Structure 1
Amino acid sequence: MPSSSGQCTCLRPFLLGSLLMLGFLLLLFTYINPNMDSPSLGMYFRPAPSCSHWANQDNSTLESDNETHHTTVLIWKWPFQYKFDSDCGVFGVQKCYLTDDRSIYNKADGVFFHHLDIHLGDLPKIPRPCFQKWVWTNMESPDNVPRKPWLDDLFNLTCNYRLDANIPVPYGYLVPRNSEDPDFQLPTKDQLVCWIVSNWNRNLLRVQYYNRLKDHLQISSYGKAFGKPLSEEDNKKVVSSCKFYLAFENSVHKDYITEKLFRPMSLGSVPVVLGPPRDSYLRHIPGDSFIHVNDFASPKELADRLHHLSKNPEEYMRYFRWTKESKMTISWFGKEHACRTCGYIQKHRKSIEVLDSTASSQPPHGLLTASSRPPHGLLTASSRPPHGLLTASSRPPHGLLTASSRPPHGALKS
């Protein structure tokens, strides 16, 4: 009868072989299932689903997924090299992870591209995962950005100042005042009309109008165009000291209304606007908070109106009635766009659309419908997701974000 030690000796090769086989199977499983979450990043990334699995999810399942995982937005390149953190709570958006780590491309829910930083040779080299959305953003007017035809049929979503963008982010917006906000106090005024400008081109409509207007009233002019550059602090002081500020846009395009309007309002000056039609401004601010040059037959008539208001304080103060219930917030370039993109993706995971022409403000015209299947494996969609304009509840709770929090190179042309 064999001894027990002999039996153990016979079993050893079997046990060793079994352990080796088990290890091999574990390595093989890991290799063929690359979507296994890393322990350190699992809190951010959901396992990449198959296309059929993802497409068949109902809204309740997707909402539950939002509560469990962070939504990841890959910043392909920082806009104008201007970096920002991943805290989107100030915009009412939670569970967002913003990163520039391209190694997580296959797991990112969205990829965020800034038009002026997109280069043909720097686009992703591998197909876009079926669940992923490519987002195009740009805050310049069509006159001030180069058209890149090779971007057509490439993106799923647009994010910019136009209100018909998938993710509209205007340069500024009104939010309700709360009990903690101080009452509005009109700054001391010692100048009638002011204008601060750097980009001077005599062919621009705003320059032509200014040259006619200055014949009928005194305009205090500052900025590089007049050899009077101002610091950020001096800029605020000048605008606050003026009864009226010339909020003249450098070009006239649909919804192109920049900080030239919103900033003077936040500093206690009445904006005199030149840009899109009055109706465009009324989508952002009350009709009695600004003066539009189109309301007057000539620059002289406008000048006469400004002189009249200057001599009648009670009439002038009516332009500040909006301050009783609202305050102005300047949008946070780059960060707000990325955060609101994250929030949109959370709510529209199943909506995939491909846009022909990258967006609302790429020249020479607006949004076009998709005409062909895009490269890189993008998916088409049967319908466009709702646009969803910004609501007060989803905006920053308080505080103004000034130009000092914007890109150092000045993404915005004065």
Structure 2
Amino acid sequence: MGTEIIELKVQVYNSGIQNFCKVTNKFSDADTADAFVFHSRNFYETVSFKFQILFKRNFPSLTLPLLKNIRKPNVPWIIWNIESPSHEKLPGEKNLFNWTMTYRRDSDFSARYGALEKFIKTANISLEGIWKYKNKTATWLGSNCQTPNNRFRLVQRMIQEGLEADIWGSCGKPTGLCDGVLKQTEPCVLDLIRPYKFYLAVENSNCKDYVTEKFWKSLEDRMAVPIVLRRETVQDLGVPDSAYIAVDDFETLDEFIQHVIKVGSDKEMYLKYHEWRKDYRVVFDNGFYGWCQLCKRLQDPEEVGRNRRSYEDVERWHSFEMCDDNYTIKFIT
């Protein structure tokens, strides 16, 4: 984003034939906006490079006061964020935002990474093909090795305790052009991970509802059984319990590893973790689902009015209290 505009703006047009939303970041469009969407990571801009160097800190953008001056009471302001509070806090501005768009299920709009949609009837498909090209055990593609929940240490400990797993990316073997979090949907990553039976879908923090592309892409097209740290994080997202393995289902790390080894060596047991594919399909949204929800709501001014609200403190609403990054310690000490 340029410094002349702090964030995205959504404008609705009603043609009578088709309703759609236009997204723009031009400050000249601000006066006619139907809603403002602010990306939390870019909310605070530096006033200038000079002040940043002089004071060693960031200042609120000069654009924010300008936007406040032209703000209209019937135009909602939305804060958009797809990261956990352990990684990225929301702005500390009080009574500024009307709606939230995050991965949390209690957000006004869902910035979920993915979901499952149930088929009308069970599909008659064979799962045999999945087993045929699975010739490796487990893997993890990691670009962030220093996280609040010590996931890198956890993966290392799993390997030390006997789990056959390959680490790729900045935390392990180089992957060339496929390295980096922004490459997660690239075909080269798919080719890299598909031969593995299990994927270590351990997030960078242990927070409520925080389940990212690591989990959903494993289910969608990588055809790997995702391994998560805690079952309760995934349990309320509509995913069958039999679609993944949770480390905290086991008393010790050794019990977990022995289970993975057993499942990985038994075709019948392994394919049971893929049975859900006969009843569901994966919808991979990668954090953008809420934009469609927002666009739909903006078509109806009465709906906008009925859902009008104000968050006193979004930073506190999206705080560390919803995380337990110390939980990993029980498995690495």
The TM-score bracket by the shorter chain reads 0.7 to 0.9
- Aligned residue number for residue 252 of structure 1: 206
- Tell me the SS of whatever aligns to 1:255: coil
Could you say if the C-alpha distance between residues 311 and 233 of structure 1 is closer, same or farther in structure 2, counting changes exceeding 3 Å? same
Match runs of 1:5-404 below 5 Å: 77=7, 94-119=19-44, 120-121=60-61, 122-123=63-64, 124-146=67-89, 148-149=91-92, 151-177=93-119, 183=125, 185-186=129-130, 188-201=133-146, 204-214=149-159, 215-230=161-176, 231=178, 232-266=186-220, 267-275=222-230, 277-278=231-232, 280-334=234-288, 336-346=289-299, 348-350=303-305, 351-358=307-314, 362-365=318-321
Q: CA deviation at 1:298?
A: 1.2
CA distance in 1, matches of 2:233, 2:146: 27
CA deviations over 1:10-40 (Å, ceiling 9, x no partner): xxxxxxxxxxxxxxxxxxxxxxxxxxxxxxx
Q: Which amino acid is the alignment partner of residue 229 of structure 2?
A: L
CA distance in 2, matches of 1:321, 1:145: 36
Q: CA RMSD in A?
A: 3.0
CA distance in 2, matches of 1:345, 1:192: 48
CA distance in 2, matches of 1:78, 1:153: 19
- Tell me the SS of whatever aligns to 2:282: strand
Deviates further, 355-364 or 120-129 = 355-364
CA deviations over 1:346-384 (Å, ceiling 9, x no partner): 352112111022268743446xxxxxxxxxxxxxxxxxx
Q: Which one has a bigger Cα radius of gyration?
A: 1
CA distance in 1, matches of 2:133, 2:317: 39
Which protein is richer in strand relative to its size? 2
Please tell me whether the aligned partners of residues 165 and 359 of structure 1 are also in contact (alpha carbons under 8 angstroms): no
Query: What's the TM-score, normalizing by structure 2?
Result: 0.75
- Tell me the SS of whatever aligns to 1:208: helix
Please tell me whether the aligned partners of residues 198 and 226 of structure 2 are also in contact (alpha carbons under 8 angstroms): yes
Q: CA deviation at 1:127?
A: 4.2
Please tell me whether the aligned partners of residues 145 and 363 of structure 1 are also in contact (alpha carbons under 8 angstroms): no
CA distance in 1, matches of 2:30, 2:321: 31
Q: Which amino acid is the alignment partner of residue 219 of structure 1?
A: A
Q: Which runs of 5+ in 1 are unaligned?
A: 1-74, 88-92, 367-414
Q: CA deviation at 1:255?
A: 0.6
Q: CA deviation at 1:176?
A: 4.0
Percent of matched pairs sharing the same residue = 24
CA distance in 1, matches of 2:39, 2:12: 17
Deviates further, 212-221 or 354-363 = 354-363
CA distance in 1, matches of 2:12, 2:218: 29
CA distance in 2, matches of 1:364, 1:310: 36
Could you say if the C-alpha distance between residues 140 and 216 of structure 1 is closer, same or farther in structure 2, counting changes exceeding 3 Å? same
CA distance in 2, matches of 1:233, 1:118: 32
CA deviations over 1:261-285 (Å, ceiling 9, x no partner): 101111200001025x426434231
Please tell me whether the aligned partners of residues 172 and 262 of structure 1 are also in contact (alpha carbons under 8 angstroms): yes
Instruction: Tell me the number of residue pairs that the alignment of Structure 1 and Structure 2 aligns.
Output: 279
CA distance in 1, matches of 2:316, 2:272: 35
CA distance in 1, matches of 2:277, 2:11: 31
Could you say if the C-alpha distance between residues 189 and 135 of structure 1 is closer, same or farther in structure 2, counting changes exceeding 3 Å? same
Could you say if the C-alpha distance between residues 360 and 253 of structure 1 is closer, same or farther in structure 2, counting changes exceeding 3 Å? farther
Q: Which amino acid is the alignment partner of residue 363 of structure 1?
A: S
Could you say if the C-alpha distance between residues 169 and 128 of structure 1 is closer, same or farther in structure 2, counting changes exceeding 3 Å? same
Please tell me whether the aligned partners of residues 140 and 361 of structure 1 are also in contact (alpha carbons under 8 angstroms): no
Could you say if the C-alpha distance between residues 103 and 357 of structure 1 is closer, same or farther in structure 2, counting changes exceeding 3 Å? same
- Tell me the SS of whatever aligns to 1:349: helix
Q: Which runs of 5+ in 2 are unaligned?
A: 45-59, 179-185, 323-333
CA distance in 1, matches of 2:271, 2:108: 37
CA distance in 2, matches of 1:170, 1:147: 17
